[in-house]
Amino acid sequence: MTIRKFIEDGVESFEAQIDGEAIQWDKGLTYARHLQTGQLLSAQVPVSDKPDEMLFIIMHQTMELWLKLVLHEAKLAIAAVRADDFDAAFKTLDRIATIQRHMIHSWEVLATLTPHDFLTFRGFLRKASGFQSWQYRELEFLLGNKRSDLAIVHSQEPETYAHLMAALAEPSLYDEVLRLLARKGFTIPADHLERDWTQPYEPSDTVEDAWLKIYANPAANWQLYTLGEKITALEYYFQEWRFKHMKTVSRVIGHKPGTGGSSGVNYLQKALSLNFFPELWSMRTRLSAPREGGTYADGA
């Protein structure tokens, strides 16, 4: 097979006929260099000699990669909301939802790990646990689960800890959405617009009233209504991910305690009642059917 050499943009380049196609590559940016596949594919380092540990490692690593992208997109969504840019916020929230659905489906792969498979290497994991996923915590902080105690497992890693504390101190996606509602003329309590963001969010009847007005008349508030539905979807999928994790864990370890020290499935079940956007859920109970003639219940 002949390889033709040539220079393009000052870079030594090559071409070969493969299957009737003029396939090209160069000495500059290769696939491996761009995607760092050398580094990526040498990062699967089992701590046991058991064959099923590879699945466990790759499942966690792929979830961490998707979490990285969700974090990246969630930061873009926050910036878009801050800039009143609905189109940009919708685009990135739609992408997040698609990634979340993919992450939820991927639990099926881990479900092929039987309790016996896991027990062959569980002891080698010592105290390592998903509880120590700092990306997961950062995402929870960014979405509004402001619980500084959850970061304590990182107190021996000053850089990670400082990173998480910085995320804790920023307004969450929901805080920014409520500020946007206020800019659009809805009544939001002053202590929800400026406060110590490190503290957990306190639900408010006034905020619930604002969402009720928006949901009672979607046509008049289309952008905020759509934003409300897209962040509701984000929370809905987050919960579905949590549920699939909990169910997979119960399938694999039953009610054994976790490697991270918690009660295991019982601990994971508690997290299912967490709400990032509480009034967006509670408002739905109060919402009534639109009246004839286009006016709506609850004064909207």
Q: Which residues are near ligand HEM by CB under 6 A?
A: 59-60, 63, 110, 113, 118, 129-131, 133, 136, 245, 249, 252-253, 258-262, 264, 267-268, 271
79 vs 119 by CB, closer to ligand HEM: 119
238 vs 277 by CB, closer to ligand HEM: 238
Min CB(298)–ligand HEM separation in Å: 35
Cβ neighbours, 10 Å, residue 259? 18
Sequence-separated (6 or more) residues with CB below 8 Å from residue 28: 9, 11
The angle at the Cα of 37, spanning 34 to 43, to the nearest 5 degrees, equals 140
Min CB(177)–ligand HEM separation in Å: 23
86 vs 243 by CB, closer to ligand HEM: 243
Asked if residue 146 lies in contact with residue 172, where contact means CB atoms within 8 angstroms, the answer is: yes
13 vs 133 by CB, closer to ligand HEM: 133
Sequence-separated (6 or more) residues with CB below 8 Å from residue 173: 74, 77, 78, 81, 142, 143, 144, 231, 276
Min CB(124)–ligand HEM separation in Å: 13
- Strand locations in the chain (E): 4-8, 11-18, 21-26
249 vs 283 by CB, closer to ligand HEM: 249
Q: Cα(56)–Cα(127) distance, rounded to whole angstroms?
A: 15
Min CB(274)–ligand HEM separation in Å: 8
Name the residue among 223, 215, 145 with its Cα closest to residue 184.
223
38 vs 51 by CB, closer to ligand HEM: 51
Min CB(103)–ligand HEM separation in Å: 9
Q: Cα(264)–Cα(261) distance, rounded to whole angstroms?
A: 8
Min CB(121)–ligand HEM separation in Å: 10
